[in-house]
Amino acid sequence: MNVRKIVTVVEEIRTEGGREVATPAKVAVVAAVIANPWAGRGFVEDLAPGIDAHASDLGALLAPAVLEALGAPAEAYGKAAIVGLDGEIEHGSALIHTLKFGDHFRKAADATTLLPAVEKRGPAGVLFDIPLKHITDATIRSHHQSVEVRISDAPHPGEIVVALAAAAQGRPQQRLAPLATER
Protein backbone atom coordinates (compact mmCIF):
# COMPACT_ATOMS: atom_id res chain seq x y z
CA MET A 1 0.00 0.00 0.00
CA ASN A 2 1.50 3.29 -1.09
CA VAL A 3 0.40 6.05 1.35
CA ARG A 4 1.33 9.55 0.19
CA LYS A 5 0.09 11.23 3.34
CA ILE A 6 -2.23 11.08 6.32
CA VAL A 7 -4.48 14.04 7.12
CA THR A 8 -6.08 14.48 10.55
CA VAL A 9 -8.78 17.04 11.32
CA VAL A 10 -10.37 17.56 14.73
CA GLU A 11 -13.33 19.88 15.13
CA GLU A 12 -14.53 21.08 18.52
CA ILE A 13 -17.86 22.89 18.56
CA ARG A 14 -18.27 25.15 21.58
CA THR A 15 -21.31 27.21 20.55
CA GLU A 16 -24.34 26.15 18.50
CA GLY A 17 -27.51 28.09 17.81
CA GLY A 18 -26.15 31.07 19.70
CA ARG A 19 -25.78 29.06 22.91
CA GLU A 20 -22.77 27.59 24.61
CA VAL A 21 -22.55 23.80 24.30
CA ALA A 22 -22.35 22.27 27.79
CA THR A 23 -19.59 19.87 26.74
CA PRO A 24 -17.75 20.83 23.54
CA ALA A 25 -18.77 18.52 20.70
CA LYS A 26 -15.82 16.78 19.04
CA VAL A 27 -15.59 15.22 15.61
CA ALA A 28 -12.38 13.74 14.19
CA VAL A 29 -11.46 12.65 10.67
CA VAL A 30 -8.36 10.76 9.64
CA ALA A 31 -7.74 10.27 5.91
CA ALA A 32 -5.09 8.32 4.06
CA VAL A 33 -4.18 9.44 0.56
CA ILE A 34 -3.12 6.29 -1.26
CA ALA A 35 -2.15 5.21 -4.74
CA ASN A 36 -5.14 3.64 -6.46
CA PRO A 37 -4.05 0.02 -7.01
CA TRP A 38 -6.30 -0.25 -10.09
CA ALA A 39 -5.71 3.14 -11.79
CA GLY A 40 -4.19 3.08 -15.25
CA ARG A 41 -4.87 -0.62 -15.79
CA GLY A 42 -8.05 -0.29 -17.82
CA PHE A 43 -11.15 -2.13 -16.67
CA VAL A 44 -10.18 -4.60 -13.93
CA GLU A 45 -12.71 -7.41 -13.72
CA ASP A 46 -11.53 -8.95 -10.44
CA LEU A 47 -10.93 -6.42 -7.66
CA ALA A 48 -10.42 -9.10 -4.99
CA PRO A 49 -6.59 -9.23 -5.12
CA GLY A 50 -6.40 -5.46 -4.52
CA ILE A 51 -8.97 -5.67 -1.74
CA ASP A 52 -7.00 -8.46 -0.09
CA ALA A 53 -3.75 -6.53 -0.45
CA HIS A 54 -4.99 -3.18 0.93
CA ALA A 55 -8.38 -3.06 2.71
CA SER A 56 -7.39 -4.62 6.02
CA ASP A 57 -4.15 -2.62 6.24
CA LEU A 58 -6.11 0.61 5.65
CA GLY A 59 -8.64 -0.25 8.35
CA ALA A 60 -5.85 -1.16 10.77
CA LEU A 61 -4.09 2.14 10.04
CA LEU A 62 -7.09 4.46 10.22
CA ALA A 63 -9.32 3.03 12.99
CA PRO A 64 -6.97 3.56 15.94
CA ALA A 65 -5.78 6.88 14.50
CA VAL A 66 -9.27 8.42 14.31
CA LEU A 67 -10.15 7.28 17.84
CA GLU A 68 -6.86 8.65 19.15
CA ALA A 69 -7.53 11.97 17.41
CA LEU A 70 -11.04 12.08 18.89
CA GLY A 71 -9.62 11.58 22.37
CA ALA A 72 -12.91 10.13 23.66
CA PRO A 73 -15.09 7.09 23.04
CA ALA A 74 -16.86 7.27 19.68
CA GLU A 75 -20.65 7.48 19.70
CA ALA A 76 -21.06 8.05 15.95
CA TYR A 77 -18.98 7.02 12.98
CA GLY A 78 -18.67 7.02 9.20
CA LYS A 79 -16.32 6.36 6.28
CA ALA A 80 -15.42 7.74 2.86
CA ALA A 81 -13.61 6.83 -0.35
CA ILE A 82 -12.89 9.62 -2.80
CA VAL A 83 -11.39 8.39 -6.06
CA GLY A 84 -9.19 10.49 -8.34
CA LEU A 85 -10.24 11.09 -11.93
CA ASP A 86 -8.25 8.15 -13.36
CA GLY A 87 -10.18 5.67 -11.22
CA GLU A 88 -13.69 4.34 -10.82
CA ILE A 89 -16.01 4.88 -7.88
CA GLU A 90 -16.01 1.07 -7.66
CA HIS A 91 -12.31 1.22 -6.73
CA GLY A 92 -13.07 3.22 -3.59
CA SER A 93 -16.09 1.10 -2.79
CA ALA A 94 -13.96 -2.04 -3.08
CA LEU A 95 -11.66 -0.81 -0.33
CA ILE A 96 -14.24 0.44 2.18
CA HIS A 97 -17.23 -1.87 1.65
CA THR A 98 -15.61 -4.97 3.03
CA LEU A 99 -15.45 -6.34 6.54
CA LYS A 100 -11.68 -6.48 6.08
CA PHE A 101 -11.74 -2.69 6.29
CA GLY A 102 -14.77 -1.80 8.41
CA ASP A 103 -14.39 -4.38 11.16
CA HIS A 104 -11.22 -2.66 12.38
CA PHE A 105 -13.32 0.43 13.17
CA ARG A 106 -16.30 -1.52 14.51
CA LYS A 107 -14.08 -3.47 16.92
CA ALA A 108 -12.07 -0.42 18.01
CA ALA A 109 -15.27 1.59 18.65
CA ASP A 110 -17.21 -1.35 20.12
CA ALA A 111 -19.80 -0.72 17.41
CA THR A 112 -22.49 -2.92 15.90
CA THR A 113 -24.32 -0.82 13.32
CA LEU A 114 -23.69 -0.41 9.63
CA LEU A 115 -20.86 2.02 9.02
CA PRO A 116 -22.36 4.77 6.79
CA ALA A 117 -20.34 5.83 3.78
CA VAL A 118 -19.83 8.25 0.94
CA GLU A 119 -18.04 7.42 -2.29
CA LYS A 120 -17.40 9.71 -5.20
CA ARG A 121 -14.90 10.56 -7.89
CA GLY A 122 -13.40 13.99 -8.13
CA PRO A 123 -10.36 16.18 -8.64
CA ALA A 124 -7.87 17.27 -6.01
CA GLY A 125 -9.57 19.48 -3.46
CA VAL A 126 -13.07 18.10 -3.98
CA LEU A 127 -15.41 18.63 -1.03
CA PHE A 128 -17.10 15.61 0.47
CA ASP A 129 -19.38 14.99 3.44
CA ILE A 130 -18.93 11.90 5.59
CA PRO A 131 -22.26 10.77 7.05
CA LEU A 132 -22.24 9.70 10.70
CA LYS A 133 -24.65 7.44 12.56
CA HIS A 134 -24.77 6.06 16.11
CA ILE A 135 -22.38 3.16 16.64
CA THR A 136 -24.98 0.77 18.12
CA ASP A 137 -28.42 2.13 17.16
CA ALA A 138 -28.92 3.73 13.75
CA THR A 139 -32.37 5.02 14.79
CA ILE A 140 -30.97 7.47 17.35
CA ARG A 141 -31.60 10.72 15.48
CA SER A 142 -29.30 12.86 17.59
CA HIS A 143 -26.30 11.14 16.04
CA HIS A 144 -27.37 11.54 12.38
CA GLN A 145 -24.90 14.17 11.24
CA SER A 146 -22.14 14.71 8.72
CA VAL A 147 -18.71 16.24 8.66
CA GLU A 148 -17.36 18.15 5.67
CA VAL A 149 -13.85 17.34 4.47
CA ARG A 150 -11.54 18.78 1.84
CA ILE A 151 -7.91 17.91 1.21
CA SER A 152 -6.46 20.62 -1.01
CA ASP A 153 -4.06 18.43 -2.99
CA ALA A 154 -5.90 15.10 -3.02
CA PRO A 155 -6.86 12.92 -4.63
CA HIS A 156 -4.44 13.12 -7.54
CA PRO A 157 -5.88 11.40 -10.65
CA GLY A 158 -4.34 8.04 -9.70
CA GLU A 159 -5.13 8.20 -5.97
CA ILE A 160 -7.90 7.41 -3.53
CA VAL A 161 -8.64 9.26 -0.30
CA VAL A 162 -9.88 6.76 2.29
CA ALA A 163 -11.19 8.35 5.48
CA LEU A 164 -12.82 7.47 8.78
CA ALA A 165 -14.75 9.92 10.95
CA ALA A 166 -15.86 9.66 14.57
CA ALA A 167 -17.92 11.87 16.87
CA ALA A 168 -17.87 11.74 20.66
CA GLN A 169 -21.57 12.66 20.82
CA GLY A 170 -24.59 13.52 18.72
CA ARG A 171 -25.26 16.93 17.20
CA PRO A 172 -24.68 19.82 19.57
CA GLN A 173 -27.95 21.18 21.03
CA GLN A 174 -29.97 18.33 19.48
CA ARG A 175 -33.57 18.31 20.62
CA LEU A 176 -35.55 16.05 18.28
CA ALA A 177 -37.80 13.50 19.92
CA PRO A 178 -36.78 9.84 19.60
CA LEU A 179 -37.89 8.16 16.38
CA ALA A 180 -40.10 5.81 18.39
CA THR A 181 -42.37 8.75 19.34
CA GLU A 182 -43.61 9.08 15.73
CA ARG A 183 -46.54 6.91 14.70
Q: What is the pLDDT along the chain (183 residues), one digit of tens a residue?
A: 899 999 999 999 999 999 999 999 999 999 999 999 999 899 999 999 999 999 999 999 999 999 999 999 999 999 999 999 999 999 999 999 999 999 999 999 999 999 999 999 999 999 999 999 999 998 889 999 999 999 999 999 999 999 999 999 999 998 887 776 776
CB atoms near residue 48 (< 10 Å) = 10
Burial class of 9 by CB neighbour count within 10 A (0 to 12, 13 to 18, 19+): middle
Convert the pLDDT of each residue in 147-170 to its tens digit: 999 999 999 999 999 999 999 999
Report whether 56 contacts 104 (CB < 8 A). yes
Report whether 86 contacts 40 (CB < 8 A). yes
User: Which of these CATH numbers, 3.20.20.140, 3.40.630.10, 3.20.20.100, 3.30.1330.110, describes 3-181?
Assistant: 3.30.1330.110
Cα–Cα dist 21/16, whole Å = 7
Residue 85 DSSP label: T
Q: Where are the domains of the chain?
A: 3-181
Residue 94 DSSP label: H
Cα–Cα dist 63/48, whole Å = 22
